[in-house]
Amino acid sequence: MNAKMPEVQQAFEAAGFTDVKTLLSSGNVVFGARAASESALQKKIEAALLRRLGKAFLTIVRPVDALRELLASDPYRAFRVDPAAKRIVTFLLNKPASEPRLPIEVDRARILAIKGREVFTVYGRTPKGPVFMALLEKTFGKEQTTRTWETVKKAAR
């Protein structure tokens, strides 16, 4: 995200969000808000970040209850996943126009499933680095954000 998390928190608070907590240093923010659509919240957050930080950032919003449902569903359970593999959830801004034939595998990165606007991937370490990021961008475009399964758990607490 290339922004300091205290500044991100201040931008959210200045925009009127409550109980603002930043998570890690990767742009995750948990907050309270009056009932509004995800789209309205995204626009409000993007405007607040631009005002406070002088830079625009793609914002993807998911309600905490949706994260909890996602975790409870354990979409990885249906697949054979190496215990050493990293589980990754990619949150898409929009549902894909068409779904690719799955699984897709490149250099120990496997896109396993798509459920709505979430993509479930696993990867193993390779000397080539995080090839899963290039695979996800090639498959779904740039309007996305990717988090580890562990980070999603932390955000849903």
pLDDT tens per residue across span 28-60: 999 999 999 999 999 999 999 999 999 989 999
Note whether 18 and 84 are same-domain residues.
no
Q: What's residue 125's pLDDT? A: 83
Q: Above 90 in pLDDT, residue 113?
A: yes
Q: How confident is the model at residue 26 (pLDDT cuts 50, 70, 90)?
A: confident
Q: How confident is the model at residue 146 (pLDDT cuts 50, 70, 90)?
A: very high
59 occurs within a structural domain: no
| Residue 101: closest CA among 113, 109, 116, 89 | 113
Q: Above 90 in pLDDT, residue 156?
A: yes
Note whether 74 and 105 are same-domain residues.
yes
Note whether 89 and 115 are same-domain residues.
yes
Which is higher by pLDDT, 129 or 151? 151
Q: Above 80 in pLDDT, residue 95?
A: yes
Note whether 16 and 72 are same-domain residues.
no
| Prior bond of 130 cis (ω within 30°) | no
Note whether 87 and 133 are same-domain residues.
yes
58 occurs within a structural domain: no
Cβ-based neighbours of 140, under 8 Å, separated by 6 or more: 90, 92, 96, 119
Range of the domain at 24: 5-53
Sign of the C-alpha dihedral computed for residues 134, 135, 141 and 145 taken in this order:
negative
Q: How confident is the model at residue 129 (pLDDT cuts 50, 70, 90)?
A: confident
Q: What's residue 128's pLDDT? A: 82
Q: What's residue 124's pLDDT? A: 87
Note whether 82 and 143 are same-domain residues.
yes
Mean pLDDT of 6-12: 94
Note whether 48 and 75 are same-domain residues.
no
Kindly give the interhelix angle for 5-14 and 38-53, rounded to the nearest 10 degrees: 120
